[in-house]
Amino acid sequence: MTSWSLSIRTLHWLVLALVVLAWASVEAHEQFPRGSAWRGLWMQVHFHAGMAVLMLTGIRLFVRLAGRSPEPEDNLMARGARIFQWLFYPLLVALPVAGFLTAQFDGKDIALLNVLGVPALFAPSEVRADQLEDIHGDVLFALLTLLVVVHAGAALIHHFVLRDDTLRRMWRR
Ligand code: HEM
Ligand code: HEM
Protein backbone atom coordinates (compact mmCIF):
# COMPACT_ATOMS: atom_id res chain seq x y z
CA MET A 1 0.00 0.00 0.00
CA THR A 2 1.44 3.42 -0.94
CA SER A 3 0.14 6.07 1.45
CA TRP A 4 -0.08 9.80 1.06
CA SER A 5 2.97 11.61 2.45
CA LEU A 6 3.01 12.58 6.14
CA SER A 7 2.73 16.27 5.22
CA ILE A 8 -0.34 15.73 3.02
CA ARG A 9 -1.97 13.53 5.67
CA THR A 10 -1.30 16.08 8.42
CA LEU A 11 -2.55 18.98 6.30
CA HIS A 12 -5.64 17.04 5.22
CA TRP A 13 -6.92 16.36 8.76
CA LEU A 14 -5.71 19.69 10.16
CA VAL A 15 -7.61 21.65 7.50
CA LEU A 16 -10.72 19.54 8.19
CA ALA A 17 -10.43 20.39 11.91
CA LEU A 18 -9.98 24.11 11.12
CA VAL A 19 -12.96 24.18 8.76
CA VAL A 20 -15.09 22.60 11.52
CA LEU A 21 -13.73 25.17 14.00
CA ALA A 22 -14.51 28.03 11.56
CA TRP A 23 -18.08 26.79 11.21
CA ALA A 24 -18.56 26.10 14.96
CA SER A 25 -17.14 29.49 15.99
CA VAL A 26 -19.36 31.51 13.65
CA GLU A 27 -22.35 29.53 14.96
CA ALA A 28 -21.21 30.19 18.55
CA HIS A 29 -20.84 33.94 17.95
CA GLU A 30 -24.49 34.12 16.89
CA GLN A 31 -25.56 32.93 20.35
CA PHE A 32 -24.37 36.19 21.95
CA PRO A 33 -25.84 39.69 21.65
CA ARG A 34 -24.25 42.25 19.32
CA GLY A 35 -21.43 44.18 20.99
CA SER A 36 -20.80 41.54 23.69
CA ALA A 37 -17.23 40.40 24.41
CA TRP A 38 -18.06 36.73 23.77
CA ARG A 39 -19.51 37.50 20.36
CA GLY A 40 -16.33 39.38 19.45
CA LEU A 41 -14.13 36.60 20.79
CA TRP A 42 -15.85 33.84 18.80
CA MET A 43 -15.60 36.01 15.70
CA GLN A 44 -11.84 36.32 16.24
CA VAL A 45 -11.65 32.51 16.55
CA HIS A 46 -13.53 32.36 13.23
CA PHE A 47 -11.09 34.78 11.55
CA HIS A 48 -8.06 32.88 12.84
CA ALA A 49 -9.34 29.44 11.87
CA GLY A 50 -10.33 30.74 8.42
CA MET A 51 -7.06 32.56 7.77
CA ALA A 52 -5.16 29.45 8.89
CA VAL A 53 -7.13 27.42 6.30
CA LEU A 54 -6.07 29.92 3.64
CA MET A 55 -2.38 29.76 4.59
CA LEU A 56 -2.30 25.98 4.97
CA THR A 57 -4.04 25.55 1.60
CA GLY A 58 -1.24 27.54 -0.05
CA ILE A 59 1.36 25.27 1.58
CA ARG A 60 -0.68 22.17 0.77
CA LEU A 61 -0.95 23.09 -2.91
CA PHE A 62 2.80 23.40 -3.07
CA VAL A 63 3.36 20.09 -1.21
CA ARG A 64 0.81 18.32 -3.40
CA LEU A 65 2.37 19.55 -6.64
CA ALA A 66 5.97 19.04 -5.52
CA GLY A 67 5.62 15.81 -3.49
CA ARG A 68 4.59 12.28 -4.30
CA SER A 69 1.03 10.94 -4.35
CA PRO A 70 -0.06 7.28 -4.30
CA GLU A 71 0.13 5.64 -7.73
CA PRO A 72 -3.01 6.77 -9.54
CA GLU A 73 -5.28 3.95 -10.69
CA ASP A 74 -6.08 4.17 -14.34
CA ASN A 75 -9.83 3.86 -14.51
CA LEU A 76 -12.63 6.33 -15.08
CA MET A 77 -13.78 6.39 -11.43
CA ALA A 78 -10.28 7.11 -10.12
CA ARG A 79 -9.73 9.85 -12.67
CA GLY A 80 -13.10 11.40 -11.80
CA ALA A 81 -12.21 11.30 -8.07
CA ARG A 82 -8.91 13.10 -8.72
CA ILE A 83 -10.62 15.88 -10.70
CA PHE A 84 -13.21 16.13 -7.91
CA GLN A 85 -10.48 16.45 -5.25
CA TRP A 86 -8.85 19.33 -7.13
CA LEU A 87 -12.10 21.33 -6.79
CA PHE A 88 -11.33 21.70 -3.09
CA TYR A 89 -8.29 23.87 -3.72
CA PRO A 90 -9.93 26.89 -5.43
CA LEU A 91 -12.79 26.64 -2.95
CA LEU A 92 -10.49 26.61 0.09
CA VAL A 93 -8.94 29.83 -1.25
CA ALA A 94 -12.13 31.58 -2.42
CA LEU A 95 -14.05 30.93 0.83
CA PRO A 96 -11.59 32.58 3.26
CA VAL A 97 -10.79 35.39 0.78
CA ALA A 98 -14.52 36.19 0.52
CA GLY A 99 -14.69 36.06 4.35
CA PHE A 100 -11.75 38.42 4.60
CA LEU A 101 -13.43 40.85 2.19
CA THR A 102 -16.71 40.58 4.12
CA ALA A 103 -14.91 41.55 7.33
CA GLN A 104 -13.13 44.41 5.54
CA PHE A 105 -16.28 45.94 4.05
CA ASP A 106 -18.08 45.41 7.35
CA GLY A 107 -15.39 47.48 9.10
CA LYS A 108 -14.55 44.55 11.41
CA ASP A 109 -11.18 44.46 13.15
CA ILE A 110 -8.94 41.58 12.15
CA ALA A 111 -6.07 41.38 14.62
CA LEU A 112 -4.19 38.16 13.93
CA LEU A 113 -2.91 36.70 17.23
CA ASN A 114 -3.98 40.01 18.71
CA VAL A 115 -0.80 41.56 17.35
CA LEU A 116 -0.79 41.61 13.58
CA GLY A 117 -3.51 44.15 12.92
CA VAL A 118 -4.73 44.02 9.31
CA PRO A 119 -5.32 47.60 8.09
CA ALA A 120 -8.67 48.56 6.56
CA LEU A 121 -8.07 48.23 2.82
CA PHE A 122 -11.55 49.35 1.73
CA ALA A 123 -14.01 51.99 2.87
CA PRO A 124 -16.81 50.26 4.81
CA SER A 125 -19.91 49.52 2.74
CA GLU A 126 -22.97 47.80 4.17
CA VAL A 127 -24.22 46.80 0.70
CA ARG A 128 -20.90 45.23 -0.34
CA ALA A 129 -20.53 43.54 3.07
CA ASP A 130 -24.01 41.99 2.74
CA GLN A 131 -23.35 40.76 -0.80
CA LEU A 132 -20.00 39.29 0.17
CA GLU A 133 -21.44 37.68 3.29
CA ASP A 134 -24.03 35.93 1.11
CA ILE A 135 -21.33 34.70 -1.26
CA HIS A 136 -19.05 33.68 1.62
CA GLY A 137 -21.41 32.23 4.22
CA ASP A 138 -24.17 30.92 1.95
CA VAL A 139 -22.99 30.14 -1.61
CA LEU A 140 -19.36 29.09 -1.06
CA PHE A 141 -20.00 27.44 2.30
CA ALA A 142 -22.90 25.43 0.82
CA LEU A 143 -20.64 24.37 -2.05
CA LEU A 144 -17.94 23.24 0.37
CA THR A 145 -20.47 21.33 2.48
CA LEU A 146 -21.75 19.57 -0.64
CA LEU A 147 -18.26 18.60 -1.78
CA VAL A 148 -17.32 17.36 1.69
CA VAL A 149 -20.47 15.25 2.04
CA VAL A 150 -19.92 13.56 -1.36
CA HIS A 151 -16.16 13.19 -0.73
CA ALA A 152 -16.46 11.81 2.82
CA GLY A 153 -19.34 9.56 1.71
CA ALA A 154 -17.17 8.13 -1.08
CA ALA A 155 -14.29 7.58 1.38
CA LEU A 156 -16.59 5.71 3.79
CA ILE A 157 -18.01 3.57 0.96
CA HIS A 158 -14.45 2.65 -0.03
CA HIS A 159 -13.69 1.68 3.55
CA PHE A 160 -16.83 -0.13 4.67
CA VAL A 161 -18.39 -1.42 1.43
CA LEU A 162 -15.55 -1.91 -1.04
CA ARG A 163 -13.17 -2.64 1.86
CA ASP A 164 -10.11 -1.23 0.11
CA ASP A 165 -7.20 0.90 1.37
CA THR A 166 -8.40 4.34 0.23
CA LEU A 167 -9.16 5.69 3.73
CA ARG A 168 -6.19 3.96 5.39
CA ARG A 169 -3.84 5.57 2.85
CA MET A 170 -4.94 8.99 4.07
CA TRP A 171 -4.67 7.96 7.71
CA ARG A 172 -1.39 6.16 8.22
CA ARG A 173 1.79 5.03 6.50
C1 HEM B 1 -12.61 27.82 6.07
C2 HEM B 1 -12.85 29.08 6.24
C3 HEM B 1 -14.19 29.67 6.56
C4 HEM B 1 -15.43 29.08 6.68
C5 HEM B 1 -15.80 27.61 6.55
C6 HEM B 1 -16.38 30.13 6.99
C7 HEM B 1 -17.75 29.96 7.18
C8 HEM B 1 -18.64 30.96 7.50
C9 HEM B 1 -20.06 30.77 7.72
C10 HEM B 1 -20.77 29.42 7.65
C11 HEM B 1 -20.59 31.98 8.04
C12 HEM B 1 -22.04 32.22 8.48
C13 HEM B 1 -22.87 32.90 7.49
C14 HEM B 1 -24.29 33.05 7.98
O15 HEM B 1 -24.65 32.60 9.08
O16 HEM B 1 -25.03 33.64 7.21
C17 HEM B 1 -19.51 32.96 8.01
C18 HEM B 1 -19.66 34.31 8.28
C19 HEM B 1 -18.64 35.22 8.29
N20 HEM B 1 -17.29 34.95 8.07
FE21 HEM B 1 -16.49 33.15 7.57
N22 HEM B 1 -15.68 31.33 7.08
C23 HEM B 1 -14.35 31.08 6.83
C24 HEM B 1 -13.32 32.02 6.81
C25 HEM B 1 -13.45 33.36 7.13
C26 HEM B 1 -12.36 34.32 7.16
C27 HEM B 1 -10.90 34.01 6.87
C28 HEM B 1 -12.91 35.51 7.52
C29 HEM B 1 -12.22 36.85 7.75
C30 HEM B 1 -10.95 37.04 7.98
C31 HEM B 1 -14.33 35.31 7.70
C32 HEM B 1 -15.23 36.30 8.04
C33 HEM B 1 -16.60 36.14 8.18
C34 HEM B 1 -17.51 37.22 8.50
C35 HEM B 1 -17.15 38.70 8.73
C36 HEM B 1 -18.80 36.64 8.56
C37 HEM B 1 -20.11 37.36 8.89
C38 HEM B 1 -20.41 37.20 10.35
C39 HEM B 1 -21.55 38.07 10.84
O40 HEM B 1 -21.42 39.27 10.75
O41 HEM B 1 -22.54 37.49 11.31
N42 HEM B 1 -14.62 33.99 7.45
N43 HEM B 1 -18.33 32.30 7.69
C1 HEM C 1 -12.94 20.00 4.90
C2 HEM C 1 -13.05 18.73 4.60
C3 HEM C 1 -12.20 18.01 3.57
C4 HEM C 1 -11.44 18.52 2.55
C5 HEM C 1 -11.28 19.99 2.14
C6 HEM C 1 -10.79 17.39 1.88
C7 HEM C 1 -9.94 17.50 0.78
C8 HEM C 1 -9.26 16.46 0.20
C9 HEM C 1 -8.31 16.60 -0.87
C10 HEM C 1 -7.97 17.91 -1.58
C11 HEM C 1 -7.80 15.36 -1.12
C12 HEM C 1 -6.71 14.98 -2.15
C13 HEM C 1 -5.37 14.94 -1.45
C14 HEM C 1 -4.84 16.35 -1.17
O15 HEM C 1 -4.63 17.10 -2.13
O16 HEM C 1 -4.65 16.68 0.03
C17 HEM C 1 -8.42 14.45 -0.21
C18 HEM C 1 -8.17 13.11 -0.14
C19 HEM C 1 -8.85 12.24 0.70
N20 HEM C 1 -9.79 12.55 1.66
FE21 HEM C 1 -10.49 14.38 2.07
N22 HEM C 1 -11.17 16.24 2.51
C23 HEM C 1 -12.03 16.57 3.54
C24 HEM C 1 -12.64 15.70 4.43
C25 HEM C 1 -12.51 14.34 4.41
C26 HEM C 1 -13.21 13.42 5.29
C27 HEM C 1 -14.23 13.83 6.37
C28 HEM C 1 -12.79 12.17 4.94
C29 HEM C 1 -13.20 10.83 5.52
C30 HEM C 1 -14.35 10.50 6.00
C31 HEM C 1 -11.82 12.30 3.87
C32 HEM C 1 -11.14 11.28 3.28
C33 HEM C 1 -10.20 11.39 2.27
C34 HEM C 1 -9.48 10.26 1.69
C35 HEM C 1 -9.63 8.81 2.07
C36 HEM C 1 -8.64 10.79 0.70
C37 HEM C 1 -7.70 10.01 -0.23
C38 HEM C 1 -8.43 9.70 -1.50
C39 HEM C 1 -7.57 9.00 -2.54
O40 HEM C 1 -6.58 8.37 -2.19
O41 HEM C 1 -7.90 9.13 -3.74
N42 HEM C 1 -11.68 13.64 3.57
N43 HEM C 1 -9.32 15.14 0.59
Please report the pLDDT score of residue 139 as a whole number. 98
C-alpha–C-alpha distance, residues 138 and 37, integer Å: 25
Measured CA distances, 96 to 2, 52, 154, 164, 166 (Å): 32, 9, 25, 34, 29
Pocket test for ligand 1, best of 16, 122, 133 (most atoms within 8 A of CB): 133
Q: Is the pLDDT of residue 71 over 90?
A: no
The beta strands (E) that lie in the chain are given as 111-112, 116-117
- The pLDDT of 21-49, averaged and rounded, is 95
C-alpha–C-alpha distance, residues 108 and 120, integer Å: 9
Atom of ligand 2 nearest to the CA of 19: 1
Pocket test for ligand 1, best of 131, 136, 147 (most atoms within 8 A of CB): 136
Write the pLDDT tens digit of every residue in 36-48.
999 999 999 999 9
CB 143 within 8 A of CB 91: yes
12 Cα–ligand 2 center, Å: 6
Element housing 121 (H / E): none
Answer yes or no: is the C-beta of 4 below 6 A from any ligand 1 atom: no
Write the pLDDT tens digit of every residue in 94-128.
999 999 999 999 998 887 776 677 888 889 999 99
If you take atom 10 of ligand 2, which residue's CA is the nearest one? 85
pTM: 0.95
